[in-house]
Amino acid sequence: MMQLLSKRIPELTGGKGFSVLYSDVGPKFYAQNGGWKPADAVEIVLPSTTTFFDTLPVETLNLERAEVCMDKDAQLLKEEFIGAADRTVFQMIPQHDELEWATVRDRQATQHLNLKISESVGAQFSSSDGWGYIIWFREYKESSLTILRVREPSYDGALRGLLEAAVEEAKRSGLQKVTIWGPSARMEEVGGVKRIPRKMAIPALLYAGDEENVTWQSIEKLGWC
């Protein structure tokens, strides 16, 4: 089925489409059976006991305010892509529908566990010369507050503030850690933890065009999982 799908995608899209899959059977299977090329599968894990210093203040986001941040983020991405014609770059970020789905699942699980429901889905930093945000959802089975998206603010103190907000929310939710997919080198340094390889949900990209110079950047966890 995967081999047939990989042949059908170029036909359906006129050679301009792409497909992403997330492998739980290692990095080779999807590549051998259709050409989905595995990307880096790394993450950082912040224990909920992590303490940050020299942070800048951030404000928490509910579902409605998060939508404004996500729309702004999408617009910034479009502007950043303008002029980058020397290569093909794929960037996917969660939209509000996916965050809403994750939040509904959060609330159902929270009620089932007889825990207090939190309206917080993220945090943002905003000043006259800097902006960034983080959004999350709860994975009780893994005891993780898992990050869906981070738009890094320019100040390290602001980034530490966003990470601190996530750690504090993990504590309030009785979760042991904060998990961030595909962190940047700066995130690793500011967070004070090393990236580790992820063996499950390995991202893989199939591009229907002829180009070889294709980059999938800022791979983050979407609301499908």
- The answer as to whether 18 is a domain residue is no
Distance (Å, whole) CA 28 – CA 10: 22
Q: Where are the alpha helices (H) located in 14-49, listed in sequence order?
A: 29-32
Q: Which residue pairs, CB below 8 angstroms and at least 24 apart, start in 166-174? A: 166/46, 166/123, 166/134, 166/136, 167/46, 167/48, 167/50, 167/52, 169/118, 169/120, 169/136, 169/145, 170/48, 170/144, 170/145, 171/48, 172/118, 173/110, 173/115, 173/118, 173/138, 173/145, 174/115, 174/143
Question: Is 140 within a domain?
Answer: yes
CA dihedral 214, 218, 224, 225 (to 10 degrees): 120
| Region of residue 150 (left: phi > 0; alpha: psi -120 to 50; beta: else) | beta
Is residue 148 assigned to a domain?
yes
Q: Quick count: other Cβ atoms within 10 Å of Cβ 106?
A: 19
**Residue 57: domain span:** 42-197
Distance in angstroms between the alpha carbons of the first and the last residue of the chain: 22
Domain count, the chain: 1
Task: Per-residue pLDDT tens, the chain, 225 aa: give them.
Answer: 999 999 999 999 888 888 988 889 988 999 999 999 998 889 999 999 999 999 999 999 999 999 999 999 999 988 887 765 677 888 888 889 989 988 998 889 888 888 888 899 999 999 988 999 999 999 999 999 999 999 999 999 999 999 999 999 999 999 999 999 989 999 999 999 999 998 888 999 999 887 777 888 888 887 554
Tell whether 139 is covered by a domain: yes
Q: What is the pLDDT of residue 225?
A: 43
pLDDT at 84: 59
Whether 209 is covered by a domain: the verdict is no
Q: Domain for residue 218, yes or no?
A: no
Please indicate, yes or no, if residue 20 is contained in any of the structural domains: no
Q: How far apart are CA 134 and CA 92, in angstroms?
A: 15
Residue 15 lies in a domain: no
CA distance 140 to 160: 24
CATH classification at residue 170 = 3.40.630
Token pair for residue 179? 């998990």
DSSP class per residue in 101-167: HHHHHHHHHHHHTT-------EEEEEETTEEEEEEEEEETTTTEEEEEEEE--SSHHHHHHHHHHHH
- pTM exceeds 0.85 for this model: yes
